[in-house]
Each structure stands twice: as structure tokens, then as C-alpha cells.
């Protein structure tokens, strides 16, 4: 199958499935009373979101799976193999990188499902405890990194310094990068349409970088997720009719890591995922500042999007500005990839 045709089909199928499925899933979630509980610690005006159906990440996952399955199966029936097209990497490594990454994202999504279920069914607003969530995430990360390690992906690339085949560095930096990224994406899901719009741009960024690096298969995977996110965004744009929940945001975090690690370039997350970095960093900085300055706050509220809400920015403005910043970071990453400065 032609590469460009495959990209178009992936985007269209992902969009159509995610969007149309919403007509059945959103009322179903509402009927089950899977409504979001809004905590008092957030902005007071978020109370109007009380009862908005959560676990909408189902739409994203369904659209993504449908797009990838239809296109790859059709391509295989036509005698092609998009996953390996133009790729000089060993065949088994390509498959392991992509499919173990998708399974990792599914693992994170399952953790998110448990968390959401506890919140909406058991009525325990905080869901899983931090220790429970961390232990489960560490388990998923360990399995993923072990799979890569056994496949021979046991090195770390540091921009401008080179490649280091060091097991300690691989495991340490791998754990830090994945754990921080997954939770940073989760933090970004705090305003209608924010996480889905930012991550849609992130998908395009990784798709372009993958194409530059002759990894056509990863481009197809990324564009499939892009299409599904656009379909979901039709339901999630302010005022949202459904929230993706941890089921969705943790899945997206896992997929972002899959893109970066498949390209052997986790550092791309710093540029393409600059908003994730800002959200996560603002929360860490806020906690440290409060503890070292007798309870005083550096930001009006953390993570960062809440600070701008407290500055009276509308949710739509926050989405637009944060998405624009992501576009700029993505453009920088693509430019550096093109000129070979990161790879």
C-alpha cells in the first residue's frame, strides 16, 4: 500500500470510528452514571463539570485499534509490509519496539481504568493511592524495558555526546523518562480538550520524525492515534460531553513513550512534549517552593494550566495557546531531526 494513502486512511478511519462510537458510548456512560467527581481542591468553576461522563478514552483506543488493524491487515493482504518499509532496523526489533510499546500503553490504560472505576463506582474520589499507582506503573515499565533490553536495545543516546551502551544508564534513564512522561500527560488532562489537542500535535510531530528516520511503520501508528484523537476531540472540546479519564490519559502517555523509544530518541519528548514537561515541572516546582518558603506558592495553582485558569484565561484560550506552543516545540524537533542533530 502506498505510504501516503496509508496515512490518510489511518487518520480518516481513526477519526470516524472514535467520533461515531461516541454516539453510543457517551449516552451509555451517562446511563451507567460514570460521571466525573470534581474535587474541592480544583478551581471552583470546575464544579459545573460534575457528572460529566468519564472513561471516554475508550473512544480513542477503539479508533486507534480500528485504524491500525484495518490499514495493516489491508496492506498485508496486498502483499506489502508498512511496518518494515524503508527500515534498516532488524525485523524482530521493529516489531518488538512497536507492539511491546502498544502493550505498555494498554497496561497503563488498565491502571487508569482501575483508577477511574474506583472513583466513579466505588465513589472514592482519589481512586488508587499514590503507592498503588506507582507500584503498578513500575511493573509495566519494568516489563517494557526488559523486553527492549532482551531485543538488544540496551543503549542510551545523549544528544551531542553520542551513544552509550550502559545497562545502568539504560534502565535508570528509561524508568525516569517513562514514569515522568506518562504522569505528565496525565497532569495535562485537566481542561476540556487540552490533553487531546496537545497530544494530536505530538502525534504529528513523531510521525514526521519517524518518516525522516525511515520508520514508516511508526508514522502509520502515530497518525492512527492522531485521527482517533481528533474524533474524540469532537466530544471533548469545551464544553466537553465526555472526559477521557485516566484510562485515556495514561494510554496516551504510554503511546508517547512508545514513539520516542521506538526512535531511540526519548529526548524528543522534551521538545515535542514541551507542554507535558512544563505541566510536570510546574507541579514539582510548586511542591518544592511551598515546602521551602513556609507555605507560599510560586504559582496560583499547579499544574500550569490551573495557574492560567486562576489568571482568568478561558479553557479554550489555554487549549489554543498550549497547542500553539506544542506546534513550535514540534517544529524545532522536526528541524533538528532533519538536520541530524538529535539522531
Segments forming the whole domain that contains residue 298: 3-338
Average pLDDT over residues 218-227: 98
Does residue 21 belong to any structural domain of this protein? yes
The phi, psi pair for 162, rounded to 5°, reads 115, -165
Expressed in angstroms, the distance from the first to the final Cα of the chain is: 28
* Distance from the Cα of residue 339 to its chain's centroid: 26
- Which pLDDT tens digit goes with each residue over 280-306? 999 999 999 999 888 889 989 989 999
Cell digits of residue 71: 490499514
Does residue 343 belong to any structural domain of this protein? no
pTM given for the model? 0.93
- Which pLDDT tens digit goes with each residue over 139-171? 999 999 999 999 988 888 777 677 888 889 899
pLDDT of residue 277: 97
Residue 20 predicted with pLDDT over 60: yes
Does residue 249 belong to any structural domain of this protein? yes
Residue 39 predicted with pLDDT over 60: no
Does residue 284 belong to any structural domain of this protein? yes
Does residue 323 belong to any structural domain of this protein? yes
Residue 38 predicted with pLDDT over 90: no
Does residue 151 belong to any structural domain of this protein? yes
Query: Is residue 157 packed enough to be buried (19+ CB in 10 Å), middle (13-18) or exposed (0-12)?
Result: middle
| Alpha-carbon gap, residue 232 to 14, rounded angstroms | 9
Does residue 90 belong to any structural domain of this protein? yes
Among 211, 184, 192, residue whose Cα is nearest residue 275: 184
Number of domains in the chain: 1
Looking up cell 545502568 gives: 168
Amino acid at each position: 500500500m502506498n505510504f501516503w494513502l496509508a496515512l490518510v486512511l489511518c487518520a480518516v478511519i481513526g477519526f470516524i470510528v472514535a467520533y461515531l462510537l461516541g454516539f453510543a458510548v457517551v449516552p451509555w456512560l451517562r446511563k451507567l452514571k460514570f460521571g466525573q467527581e470534581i474535587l474541592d481542591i480544583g478551581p471552583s468553576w470546575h464544579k459545573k463539570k460534575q457528572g460529566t461522563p468519564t472513561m471516554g478514552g475508550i473512544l480513542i483506543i477503539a479508533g486507534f485499534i480500528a485504524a491500525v488493524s484495518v490499514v495493516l491487515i489491508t496492506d498485508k493482504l496486498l502483499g506489502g509490509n508498512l511496518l518494515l518499509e524503508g527500515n534498516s532496523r532488524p525485523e524482530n526489533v521493529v516489531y518488538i519496539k512497536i507492539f511491546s510499546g502498544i502493550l505498555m500503553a494498554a497496561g497503563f490504560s488498565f491502571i487508569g481504568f482501575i483508577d477511574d472505576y474506583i472513583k466513579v463506582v466505588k465513589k472514592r474520589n482519589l481512586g488508587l493511592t499514590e503507592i498503588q499507582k506507582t507500584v503498578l506503573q513500575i511493573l509495566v515499565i519494568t516489563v517494557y524495558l526488559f523486553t527492549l533490553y532482551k531485543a538488544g536495545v540496551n543503549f542510551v543516546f545523549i544528544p551531542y555526546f553520542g551513544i552509550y551502551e550502559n545497562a545502568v544508564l539504560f534502565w535508570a534513564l528509561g524508568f525516569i523518562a517513562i514514569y515522568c512522561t506518562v504522569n505528565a500527560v496525565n497532569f495535562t488532562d485537566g481542561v476540556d480538550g487540552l490533553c487531546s489537542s496537545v497530544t494530536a500535535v505530538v502525534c504529528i510531530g513523531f510521525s514526521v520524525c519517524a518518516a525522516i528516520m525511515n520508520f514508516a511503520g511508526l508514522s502509520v501508528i502515530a497518525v492512527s492515534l492522531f485521527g482517533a484523537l481528533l474524533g474524540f476531540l469532537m466530544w471533548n472540546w469545551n464544553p466537553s460531553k465526555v472526559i477521557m479519564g485516566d484510562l485515556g490519559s495514561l494510554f496516551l502517555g504510554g503511546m508517547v513513550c512508545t514513539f520516542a523509544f521506538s526512535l531511540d530518541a526519548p529526548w524528543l519528548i522534551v521538545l515535542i512534549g514541551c507542554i507535558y514537561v512544563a505541566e510536570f515541572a510546574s507541579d514539582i516546582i510548586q511542591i518544592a517552593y511551598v515546602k521551602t518558603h513556609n507555605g507560599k506558592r510560586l504559582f496560583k495553582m499547579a499544574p500550569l494550566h490551573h495557574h492560567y485558569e486562576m489568571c482568568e484565561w478561558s479553557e479554550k484560550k489555554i487549549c489554543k495557546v498550549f497547542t500553539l506552543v506544542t506546534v513550535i516545540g514540534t517544529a524545532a524537533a522536526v528541524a533538528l531531526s532533519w538536520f541530524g542533530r538529535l539522531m
